[in-house]
Structure 1
Amino acid sequence: MKLDQLATITDATVRQIRFLIAEGFVPSPDGGRTYASYDDKHVRAIRRFQRLKALGFPNAAIRILLDAREGVPIPVVEGVTLIVASELIGCDLDVGPIVERAGARLREALGKVRPKATKKRGAG
């Protein structure tokens, strides 16, 4: 796709996209300057940046998070922080199954410890 199509799909301006490419937040286009072509990797990179900005991260922090490859910390409540792989940010996943699994793991980790039931020996 061409730059103007990428701008439409991502709801970003051409100027913003050029800035993101120049700053290394988005990969350079395929095909060089004259025949520049963009694809899903560019869409994902722009959406990832937009999502991190919406979460309140400044550009410098976004650069560190993306370079570190350790994941993006997202506070949930005091004492609980999700760590999300940076490549998943803004990729429009179905979060339903993830939420279910995360909820189960949290219940497992934070729930009461219940003693195991012991079998009574019958009189024989």
Structure 2
Amino acid sequence: MQTKYSINELATLVDISVRTLRFYLQKGLISAPHGNGRGAWYDADHLEQLIKIKRWQTAGLSLERIQALLAQSNAPELPVLQPKPGDIQVVSHLHLANGLTLMIDPSAANLSSEQLRTLAQALINTYQQVTHQDAQQGVKQDDIRDE
């Protein structure tokens, strides 16, 4: 099943304004949404495009240079820049369970949004298995004490 995002949701996910997103659309930096008007929606490919644009902007590239890179079929990935004191960094917090949060730096993770979703689901499943096993072992130990 394909995830659909509204323009507001997509802008929020990438931490840009809707106005900036519309500007990128107008400039052809990202592909057009699916559908028209109020029914328009965006998908994981749009999210990937925006993450790549943000990564390149962080590396200091102009929008003109980014547009030229996006036109290439084999656009290079830029090396991750190490943050310096005073730099502002956008980090996503993925809540896995009470007291368990995964922090993801999208500029350094170098994973697609689909890969991140797969990783998140695998971590959630693993956590649930571990806690379920611990709960079962606790019950078995209680049974032994009762005998």
Identify the TM-score tier after normalising by the shorter chain: 0.5 to 0.7
Find the counterpart in structure 1 of residue 30 from structure 2. Answer: 26
Q: Deviations over 1:28-72 (max 9, x none)?
A: 110112311111111111111110000111111111111122432
Q: Which moved more, 1:59-68 or 1:42-51?
A: 59-68
Q: Which has the larger radius of gyration?
A: 1
| Whole-Å separation in 2 of the counterparts to 1:18 and 1:7 | 10
Q: Displacement of 1:75 after TM fit?
A: 6.9
**Residue identity in the other structure for 1:32:** N
Pair 1:62 & 2:60 matched? no
CA 1:93–1:73: 2 relative to 1, 3 Å:
closer
Q: How many residues get paired?
A: 82
| 2:12 corresponds to which of 8, 26, 31 | 8
What runs of 5+ residues in structure 2 fail to find an aligned partner? 81-105, 113-147
Pair 1:72 & 2:76 matched? yes
Q: Deviations over 1:57-111 (max 9, x none)?
A: 11111111111224327479xxxxxxxxxxxx968329xxxxxxxxxxxxxxxxx
Find the counterpart in structure 1 of residue 48 from structure 2. Answer: 44
What runs of 5+ residues in structure 1 fail to find an aligned partner? 77-88, 95-124
**Residue identity in the other structure for 1:92:** N
**Residue identity in the other structure for 1:62:** I
TM-score normalised by length of structure 1: 0.57
| Whole-Å separation in 1 of the counterparts to 2:79 and 2:37 | 40
After superposition, residues 78-117 of structure 1 pair within 5 angstroms as 92-93=110-111
| Whole-Å separation in 1 of the counterparts to 2:79 and 2:39 | 42
Task: Give 1 or 2: higher helix fraction.
Answer: 2
| Whole-Å separation in 1 of the counterparts to 2:52 and 2:40 | 21
| Whole-Å separation in 1 of the counterparts to 2:63 and 2:72 | 14
Query: Percent same amino acid at aligned positions?
Result: 28
Runs of 4+ with >4 A deviation: 73-76
